[in-house]
Amino acid sequence: MSTQMDMSLVDLRQTVERLALSTPVTDMHTHLYAPEFGNLLLWGIDELLTYHYLISESFRWSKEEYDHFWSLSKREQADWIWKLLFLDHSPVSEAATGFITILKRLGLDVSSRNLDDYRLALEKRTVQEQVDTVMQIAGIEKIVMTNDPFDPVERPVWQSGKGKTDPRFYAALRVDTLLNDWPHAVSELQSLGYDVQAEWTERTKEETHRFLSKWIIRMDALYLAVSMPGDFTYPADDHRSKMIDEVMIPVCQKQNIPFALMIGVRRKVNPSLGLAGDMSMQSDVSAVEALCRRYPEQKFLITMLARENQHELTVLARKFRNLMIFGCWWFLHIESMVEEMTRFRLELLGTSMIPQHSDCRVFEQLIYKWEHSRRIIGNVLADKYEKLHHSGWTVTEEEIQRDLDDMLNRNFWRFLGKEQ
């Protein structure tokens, strides 16, 4: 009897691991682009090595002047990082290990440590071939981009009608400039022909509303998205609260889309590092609570950056069904944090959440970010199924597949009201 039970549990864990690694994924928040966006789509060896995680890590081993590093070509920067983090020291950090995982899954000889061979292998591929290959390896079915209508490089792609060419890619409309840099937003809106001014007038509200509505329709945007600093408060007597109450929420409700807030960034802690110089910051979860309570019919997608906020945010999600928490964002996208957060989210919310998103900026990162996360999610879920098994409740393969499909795919679309 004992042997039968042990074999059953072995089969259970193997089934969960297999399905966790093979279930198609909707990556609901990335910084990736479809091939139609040209150079905005980052891919290849040098882009991977000059990713901002590896840049900041490299400077811990070097006394090199920041300005000198930034004066180098991208290839030279990549060579410098490769030597420091992969040849002079073992690549054990999440970002460095991830790069090795990418090489291996792309069929390259990791043991050779020959960076030029890796470059040459990928340079032989077209961007379309690489996108198809990476999505197949990573098991990604749908990708949600982050799209900024104020970006002068991106905007013409949408205006030409080419932004929705690849059906695997979806848009999310980024509204950071409107909420966090209103003077610049005013200038941009005026240049695009909108009758706005710095003062918060009725005409300005109407025109901002018109701008957002037009671009949501043009992009067929799935949600509005903003990255907020850690000191974000709501409600408050400030521009952000007025914009949220009088423009963002009305637009979202009219277009029937969620509002996604990613809260907890502290920008340019070390400006010399550029994009790599940003930091995390503990936030006030009561801002999310106030939004969910004030707008019970509006759906909110929320992730927070500080570890200290995660448990409270998860508890809050038990109280408001219009709140969907998602992913292990940025500095939390490391294996120990993914495991910790997945465990207490499952224990508090069951499978009614979105455990992960990639937040990728370089296309091949989909491979390692999802492989690492899938294994952890599967392992945590298997532990929960084993506990049920010991209580006499057995789960079938179909039920395991259902649960994984919910977390990795359907929960997002169901929350949008667009279940696939």
Q: Give the model confidence (pLDDT) of 4-13 as tens digits.
A: 444 488 899 9
pLDDT value, residue 69: 97
Q: For residues 277 and 223, give the distance between their C-alpha atoms in angstroms, rounded to a whole number.
A: 28
Taking residues 312-328, report their average pLDDT: 98
Confidence of residue 420 (pLDDT cuts 50, 70, 90): low
Residue 260, strand partner residues: 225, 301
**Which tens digits make up the pLDDT trace of 162-192?**
999 999 999 999 999 999 999 999 999 999 9
Percent of the chain residues past pLDDT 90, beyond the cut: 97
Specify the pLDDT at position 243.
98
Q: Please give the full DSSP string across 332-358, using - where no structure is assigned.
A: G-SHHHHHHHHHHHHHHHTT-SB----
Against a cut of 0.75, is the pTM above it? yes
The arithmetic mean of pLDDT across residues 71-91, rounded, is 98
What single DSSP character describes residue 147?
Answer: B
Residue 1 has pLDDT above 80, yes or no: no
- Calculate the average pLDDT of the chain: 96
Give the pLDDT band of residue 392 (cuts 50, 70, 90).
very high
Q: What is the mean pLDDT of residues 85-110?
A: 98
Percent of the chain's residues with pLDDT above 70: 98
H or E segment to which residue 302 belongs:
strand 300-304
Give the model's pLDDT for residue 8: 80
Say if residues 118 and 108 touch (Cβ distance below 8 Å). Answer: yes
**What would the mean pLDDT of 109-131 be, rounded to a whole number?**
96
Cα separation, 286 vs 99, whole angstroms: 38
For the residues of 221-244, what is the DSSP string, one character each? -S-EEEEEETT--SS-SSHHHHHI
Q: Where are the alpha helices (DSSP H) in 124-181?
A: 127-138, 155-159, 176-180
For residue 10, the model assigns a pLDDT of 83
**pLDDT digit string (tens) for 187-235?**
999 999 999 999 999 999 999 999 999 999 999 999 999 999 999 999 9
With 60 as the cut, is the pLDDT of residue 84 above it? Answer: yes
Is residue 45 over pLDDT 50?
yes
